[in-house]
Amino acid sequence: MVEALIESEPVCINVCNGAHEAEARAVLDVLPHQECITYYEIPTNEPWCRDHGPIFLTREVDPKLAVVDWDYNAWGGKYPPCDLDEIVPTRVAEILKVPVFYPRMILEGGSIDVNGAGALLTSESCLLNKNRNPDLSREQIEQRLRDFLGVREILWLGDGIAGDDTDGHIDDLARFVSERTVVTVIEENHHDENYQPLQQNLERLREMKIGESRTGTKIEIVTLPMPKKIVREDLRLPASYANFYIANTCVLVPTFADPADETAVETLQQLFPNRRVIGIDCRELIWGLGTFHCLTQQQPTA
Q: Rounded to whole angstroms, how far apart are CA atoms 72 and 63?
A: 26
pLDDT along the chain (302 residues), means of 10: 96 97 97 96 97 96 96 98 98 98 98 96 98 98 98 97 98 97 98 98 96 77 98 98 98 98 98 98 98 97 83
Residue extent(s) of CATH 3.75.10.10 domains in the chain: 42-295
pLDDT tens-digit map of 39-61: 999 999 999 999 999 999 999 99
In the prediction, which pLDDT does 211 show? 81
Q: Rounded to whole angstroms, how far apart are CA atoms 120 and 295?
A: 20
The continuous run of DSSP H or E covering 265 comes out as helix 261-271
pLDDT tens-digit map of 78-133: 999 999 999 999 999 999 999 999 999 999 999 999 999 999 999 999 999 999 99
**Fold classified for 42-295:** L-arginine/glycine Amidinotransferase; Chain A (3.75.10)
Q: Rounded to whole angstroms, how far apart are CA atoms 281 and 254?
A: 6
Q: Rounded to whole angstroms, how far apart are CA atoms 217 and 175?
A: 18
* Catalytic sites, residue numbers: 294
